[in-house]
Structure 1
Amino acid sequence: MSADTLNLAAEGGGGLFTPGGPGFEAPSVGIFFPSPWADYNLPYTGGFNKYVVLLLVATALVALFLWWTARRQSVVPGRSQGIGELTFLFVRDQISRPMMGVKGDKYMPLLLSLFLFVFAMNVMGLIPFLQLPVTSNLSYPAGLAAIVYITFIVVGIRAQGGVAKYFKGAVVPSGAPWWILPILVPIEIISNFLIRPATHAIRVFATMFAGHLLLATFAAAGWYMFNPAAGPLFGTISVLFSGASLLAFIVFTAFELVIMFLQAFVFTLLAALYIGQAQEAH
């Protein structure tokens, strides 16, 4: 919101029904480019900004969760250990084994870490006064997608006995006639080694970006419409409008939390799928 809108709101309400008041200014993509709080002149970085702080918070939350659930191991699990085991079994039985079978068990540390970390970064968009999902900055999901990309290539090379065998299996469809290979091979290269990592990162980024912008719009609209000083009639209408926006904000916040979970699930599921495919010869 503009400074005029905030000043007007501080005096008793938003700009709705205020003669000569500022018009509604919807949140822009500028909210995803916070100014750095400290700049150490590090190349290719945006300085120490809100994303870095929330990334550190997300990392600490994941580490704290893993420590809390694993600090007291026993045959009969307590509450914390039970929560940890349920989380582990969810990732194993709903993601790893459906995609890779029992072969995927050795990749559980990676998959569990990805699921928890992506979910924690997404949830940062719900922290009061610091609402900003870390994954709404493309560089962060792109970094995780790059880790998965390198992992499934290394797994494929090891599983199929060499670089040449892996890349041949990945880009040359089995049983395809030779005369169509000049068309199929470039398509397979683009699909497997360019589009796959790009869509892996962009999917979660675009969803978190759009969801957070929608929530910010509802929040700004509710604040703008809250103007009880506009008189008995218009003041009441403005409060009703503001209440409707607040209700929509609450509903979409709950919906966004579900989306945050699903995006972490899908990101990890695709990682398991790519690693599983790399283990199998085409």
Structure 2
Amino acid sequence: MSIVATVAPADYTPPGIEEFWQPLFGTDGPLAITRPMLLMALSVILVAWWLLATTRKKAVLPGRGQMGTEAIYGIVRNGIAKDLIGSREFMRFVPLLFTLFVVILTNNFFGVIPPMSFPTMSRIGFPIALSLIVWVVFHVVGMKKHGFIGYWKSLVPSGLPKAMVPFIFFLELITDLFTRPVTLALRLFGNMFAGHILIVLFITGGWYMLTSGGVLVIAGGVTWIFAFVMTLFELLVEFLQAYVFTLLAALYIAGAVADEH
């Protein structure tokens, strides 16, 4: 109670949604150039540079750069695409899945790397855009393989009583057209949003207590220790969210191109 009593709540403003809208050029309208937009562009440049720099001089005995690139590529190619989509179909989807993984991972890691210190995927527009790409791809490849009628007809398992067919078809249609892309986007967005705002809260709250003097200095030091632990945990979450997004994208594609779809 003594610690709480010494704090002047009005002096500290906790982080809010304004933390995620940071216009750098222009007004606050739709034409503003924001920090997340620049970070996304930067991530594309960094990923392109990294791939070119580590694969320009490919060797049978790879160096550290090539080895690291091949390890990440192997995670996507063998651990996700091949295992889920199957050895006959997987290779044509590897470029898409690999791009999704490295771009999401880079933008997630921006959340804990100064001076960026902002996870781009905490802006809902970016996860929605990536989810829509996946949504279009798995529907298009499914219809190309099974035909338009055959693709949608296969949403209903065979052997169901006729009275249940309309209900099952409606539920599966909602899942394919709405639930999958929405949950794919919200899962990535929610984790990046929550993780970033917690870290900002611990860091800014800890700094407020450290500069308030008295016994609050101890509380501020403990808070910053928690901030460091949260940052390490957030690194794991950022990797896992990139992996899960790519995994689910491959799973949806696998379902669309499966022979028994």
TM-score with structure 1 setting the length? 0.85
Which residue does 2:220 correspond to in 1? Answer: 242
Question: Which structure 2 residues correspond to residues 56-75 of structure 1 after superposition, within 5 A?
Answer: 56-75=41-60
Which residue does 2:128 correspond to in 1? Answer: 142
Are positions 1:266 and 2:254 aligned together?
no
**Deviations for 1:137-186, whole angstroms, at most 9, x for unmatched residues?**
111011011111111011101221x11111111x2222212111121111
Which residue does 1:126 correspond to in 2? Answer: 112
Which residue does 1:8 correspond to in 2? Answer: none
Which residue does 1:54 correspond to in 2? Answer: 39
Are positions 1:114 and 2:71 aligned together?
no
Contact 2:142 2:256 in 1 (8 A): yes
User: What is the letter of the counterpart of residue 23 of structure 2?
Assistant: S
How far off is 1:78 after superposition? 2.0
CA distance in 2, matches of 1:183, 1:91: 37
In our comparison, the structure showing a higher alpha carbon Rg is 1
Aligned length: 256
Equivalent of residue 208 in structure 1, options 192, 198, 204: 192
CA distance in 1, matches of 2:180, 2:9: 49
Q: Which contiguous aligned blocks of 4+ residues in structure 1 show a shift greater than 4 angstroms?
A: none
Of stretches 95-104 and 22-31 in structure 1, the one that deviates more from structure 2 is 22-31
CA distance in 2, matches of 1:193, 1:253: 36
Which residue does 1:6 correspond to in 2? Answer: none
TM-score with structure 2 setting the length? 0.92
Which residue does 1:4 correspond to in 2? Answer: none
Of stretches 65-74 and 205-214 in structure 1, the one that deviates more from structure 2 is 65-74
Which residue does 1:166 correspond to in 2? Answer: 151
User: What is the letter of the counterpart of residue 122 of structure 1?
Assistant: N
Which residue does 2:84 correspond to in 1? Answer: 99
Give unpaired runs (5+ residues) of structure 2.
none
**Deviations for 1:232-264, whole angstroms, at most 9, x for unmatched residues?**
xx2xx2221111111111110010011000000
Give unpaired runs (5+ residues) of structure 1.
1-14
CA distance in 1, matches of 2:45, 2:5: 42
CA RMSD of aligned residues (A): 2.0
Are positions 1:33 and 2:16 aligned together?
no
How far off is 1:16 after superposition? 8.6
CA distance in 1, matches of 2:184, 2:10: 41
Are positions 1:184 and 2:168 aligned together?
yes
Identical pairs, percent: 35
**Deviations for 1:93-138, whole angstroms, at most 9, x for unmatched residues?**
2211221121212211111111000111111212324322110011
